[in-house]
Amino acid sequence: MVPVNKNSGRRELSLALVAGCLLGFSFPPVPTGLFATVAFVPFFLLLEGVQGHGAAFRRSYATFFIFNVITLYWTGGFTHGKDPYLMAAGASLLLAHPLFFYMPVAGWMFIRKRFGDLYSLCLFPFLWVSFEYLHSLTEISFPWLTLGNTQTYDLASIQIATVTGVFGISFWLLWLNVAGILALYLLPGAYGASILRNPVQGGADSIRIAVVQPNIDPFEKWQQRSDLQLQVLERLTSEVAAKRVDMIVWPETAVPFYVLDPGNHPAFEILRREIDSLGVPLLTGIPDIRYYGEGEPAPRSSKVLQDGRRYDNYNSSMLLQPGDPEIQKYAKMILVPFAERVPFSEALSFLNAMQWNFGLGGWGWVARKRCST
């Protein structure tokens, strides 16, 4: 039996804990995105001298499990403990998702073994950003933990995203970890500062947008009276509309019922009249529903009403403009796996048992943009 080096084990656990915490706490809502510039340094130290994939996998899984717990604990509603199915789905996500992060690590290990540390470190940003891009595709996409999202609070630096996209910000952060070159950190900041000093380009007009946050518990909103929730939103909206804003934005599923369903037409008309009277466009999240007519093909994952009709509901957004009878709406395409939709439920019908109307696996999925007027 090979003796276990307790000091080595403590070192590995400490490095995994530090790396996972630095990564986790670099994401919003904690305003410490600066952690992302050094988060991979302890991770590289953790893998120093590791040759086999087994040992590398264990260290990688430990690090990214800690990272996922910090950033995704909310997906299972554990702080409320009211929905065992949602909690089970959230736990499954926390246990399974760290497995994906070994893909770029495995590529890095392969390159390091054949070409040495220098080449592998220089290529690591390319490997990681490629992984992030691939992880944003297909029905199991998960773009919320893209490294570039950590810089949400650094308004100057993220202006570079207008040129490179979020993956460019990830690439920049990884180079800061690998090379530690200060100029890579200052250059985007200087660029962003110049943009912010002259934000209006090409003759475009600036606009004032008011974001209304009603502070309603998302786990309890579906059981609370919807009319009272709308009263809170309308009161806050009236207050901000008086400040000469150009658009008002409500949160995701802010209207907690199918406001576009014909049966809810009176409630919709009240909302429309409110927007007409304020004279300010409203962009709000809504649950939307689509009924399939008799003989119309419906996805296997669609749900069935008591009268036999099939339907799908969507996590959507709606734009209402004063004096405009048209309704513009858009259905969310990238849904949180398991928390918002059970992946591949159309192909594997037995997975439909995990769905319910709102929340766990309940939202319909569209492969392409669903935007209508």
Average pLDDT, integer, range 348-362? 58
Q: What is the pTM of this model?
A: 0.74
Mapping DSSP to helix (H, G, I), strand (E, B) and coil, where does residue 160 land? helix
Whether the CB-CB separation of 175 and 167 falls below 8 Å is answered with no
Task: Please tell me the distance from the alpha carbon of residue 65 to that of residue 150, in angstroms, as a whole number.
Answer: 18
Task: Please tell me the distance from the alpha carbon of residue 290 to that of residue 222, in angstroms, as a whole number.
Answer: 19
H/E segment holding residue 247: strand 247-249
Lookup result for tokens 């998960």: 142
Instruction: Find, among 188, 137, 248, 179, the residue nearest to 33 by Cα.
Output: 188
pLDDT score recorded for residue 197: 82
Indicate if the pLDDT at residue 354 is higher than 70. no
Percentage of the chain beyond pLDDT 90 is: 52
Task: Please tell me the distance from the alpha carbon of residue 250 to that of residue 237, in angstroms, as a whole number.
Answer: 9
Instruction: Find, among 93, 71, 75, the residue nearest to 27 by Cα.
Output: 71
Comparing 18-32, 206-220, 356-370, which segment has the lowest mean pLDDT? Answer: 356-370
Q: Copy the structure tokens of residue 306.
A: 């008591």
Average pLDDT, integer, range 295-307? 83
Indicate if the pLDDT at residue 360 is higher than 70. no
Q: What is the 3-state secondary structure (H, E, C) of 305-344?
A: CCCCCEEEEEEEEEEECCCCCCCEEEECCCCCECCCECCC
Indicate if the pLDDT at residue 8 is higher than 80. no
Instruction: Find, among 217, 235, 212, the residue nearest to 285 by Cα.
Output: 212
Comparing 191-195, 201-205, 349-353, 357-361, which segment has the lowest mean pLDDT? Answer: 357-361
Which of the pair, 304 or 346, is modelled with greater confidence? 304
pLDDT score recorded for residue 359: 47
- pLDDT per position as a tens digit, 69-116: 999 888 877 767 677 778 888 888 899 999 999 999 999 999 999 998
Indicate if the pLDDT at residue 254 is higher than 90. yes
Q: What is the DSSP string of 33-95?
A: GGGGGTTHHHHHHHTTT--SHHHHHHHHHHHHHHHHHHHHGGGGTTTT---HHHHHHHHHHHH
Mapping DSSP to helix (H, G, I), strand (E, B) and coil, where does residue 145 land? helix
